[in-house]
């Protein structure tokens, strides 16, 4: 099988409406040592200043190549970029991240050590610059696990490298999903039994929502598209059971005794505690007091649940329009 050196690697990135963060992201890409064969960016229908920034960077650095596309979800944009890529290996990340200088070096070094691997999985860490972002990370960023003494989060399309042939054999990414397209792809990869290696030193810094409005809109979209992907059992079903139990407790509080009203409160406290403990590394790296962290994380968890409900209603309405059209 083809081994991976930087000259064999095409880096690909889907981009849409990232004008605020694009400069820092592209700068981090261009600092990669060793240098990749090329960097292919797909502008998936940006309506802000993203296109102008891409053109400016492309004119200044011949490694960058931009593919213009109409509005597209990340899966279609990735497929377009990989289709244009010339290298046998594809390194992928997401716009809005900050890529560590040694990210590509770690991915290719792992591929050299694991010559049979079809994919190399890097890791990511949340950018937690504010109290709110820290609590958002405690609410939903994937818990890390230890690999070779290093913390690893993944798999994620924000930090990975894959053989182009493997991508072709798996049929690419689903193109009609705003969320879960990566989950579906990784399920196919695992189901087909492709060998995978982990590179816990290949790290990107991942930006997370910085306001309640941005958080709500992101999870509302995630919710709708998770249902479209048929993955309700991953998220919606457990949340539904949890709130059903809370509703029963409220009914019992009204009909039997007020003390049953404490059950939902205790459940939220326990849920918040478990969420924070699962991400203890994030909590320990912050300097915030325990009580405010618990209170804000609990509020964020409830906000995500409300966003999930809004996304569910969006999904039901869209299915209804399809039925009657």
Domain with CATH 3.90.550.10 in the chain: 6-206
- Chain segment 6-49, per-residue pLDDT in tens: 789 999 999 999 999 999 999 999 999 888 999 999 999 999 99
- Please determine, for residue 212, whether its predicted confidence score (pLDDT) is greater than 60: yes
C-alpha 80/C-alpha 76 separation (Å) is: 6
CA angle 299, 303, 307 (to 5 degrees): 175
Is 173 in contact with 79 (CB distance < 8 Å)?
A: yes
DSSP state letters, 210-229: -SHHHHHHHHHHHHHHHHHT
Instruction: Specify the pLDDT at position 155.
Output: 95
Superfamily (CATH H level) for 6-206: Spore Coat Polysaccharide Biosynthesis Protein SpsA; Chain A (3.90.550.10)
Instruction: Name the band, by pLDDT with cuts 50, 70 and 90, for residue 249.
Output: very high
CA–CA gap between residue 181 and residue 174 (Å, rounded): 5
Consecutive H or E run containing 264: helix 262-278
List the 89-92 sheet strands across, edge first.
64-69, 38-44, 9-15, 89-92, 160-163, 119-126, 196-206, 98-99
| Neighbouring C-alpha atoms within 13 Å toward the C-beta of 148 | 8
The predicted model scores a pTM of 0.92
- Judged by DSSP in three states, 267 sits in helix
Nearest CA-CA partner of 185 in 89, 67, 78, 308:
78
DSSP string, 2-34: ----GGGEEEEEEESS-TTTHHHHHHHHHT-SS
pLDDT of 313 reads 96
| pLDDT tens digits, one per residue of 284-310 | 999 899 999 999 999 999 999 999 999
Residues 220, 264: Cα–Cα separation, whole Å? 23
CB 158 within 8 A of CB 206: yes
Helix pair 290-324, 212-228: axis angle to 10 deg? 40
322 sits in which H/E element: helix 290-324
> CA separation (Å) from 140 to 115, 137, 206, 219?
34, 6, 13, 11
The CA-atom distances, in angstroms, between 159 and each of 106, 125, 229 are: 11, 10, 22
| 3-class SS shares of the chain: helix, strand, coil, % to 5 | 55, 15, 30
Summarised one tens digit per residue, pLDDT across range 117-130 is 999 999 999 999 99
Mean pLDDT across the chain, nearest whole number? 94
Tens-place pLDDT, residues 132-174: 999 999 999 999 999 988 999 989 999 999 999 999 999 999 9
Whether the ω angle into residue 9 lies within 30 degrees of 0, i.e. cis, is: no
DSSP element (H, E) containing 263: helix 262-278
Q: Please check the confidence at residue 179 and state whether its pLDDT lies above 60.
A: yes
């Amino acid at each position: 099988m083809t081994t991976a050196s930087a000259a064999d690697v095409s880096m690909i990135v889907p981009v849409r409406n990232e004008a605020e963060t694009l400069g820092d992201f592209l700068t981090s890409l261009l600092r990669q040592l060793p240098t990749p064969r090329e960097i292919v960016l797909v502008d998936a229908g940006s309506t802000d200043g993203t296109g102008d920034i891409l053109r400016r960077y492309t004119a200044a650095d011949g490694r960058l190549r931009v593919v213009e596309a109409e509005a597209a979800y990340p899966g279609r944009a990735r497929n377009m970029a990989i289709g244009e890529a010339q290298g046998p290996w594809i390194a992928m990340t997401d716009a809005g991240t900050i890529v560590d200088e040694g990210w590509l070096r770690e991915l290719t070094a792992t591929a050299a050590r694991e010559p049979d691997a079809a994919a190399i999985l890097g890791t990511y860490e949340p950018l937690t610059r504010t109290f709110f972002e820290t609590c958002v990370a405690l609410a939903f960023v994937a818990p890390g696990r230890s690999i070779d003494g290093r913390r690893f989060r993944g798999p994620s399309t924000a930090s990975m490298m894959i053989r182009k042939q493997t991508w072709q054999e798996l049929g690419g990414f689903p193109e009609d999903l705003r969320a879960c397209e990566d989950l579906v792809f990784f399920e196919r990869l695992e189901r087909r039994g492709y060998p995978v290696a982990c590179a816990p030193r290949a790290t990107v810094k991942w930006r997370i929502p910085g306001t309640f409005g941005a958080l709500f809109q992101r999870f509302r979209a995630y919710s709708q598209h998770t249902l479209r992907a048929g993955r309700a059992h991953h998220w919606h079903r457990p949340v539904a059971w949890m709130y059903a139990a809370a509703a029963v407790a409220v009914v019992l509080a009204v009909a039997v005794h007020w003390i049953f009203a404490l059950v939902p409160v205790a459940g939220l406290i326990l849920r918040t505690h478990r969420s924070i403990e699962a991400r203890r590394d994030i909590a320990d790296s912050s300097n915030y007091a325990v009580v405010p962290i618990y209170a804000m994380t609990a509020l964020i968890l409830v906000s995500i649940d409300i966003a999930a409900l809004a996304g569910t209603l969006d999904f039901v309405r869209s299915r209804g329009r399809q039925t009657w059209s």
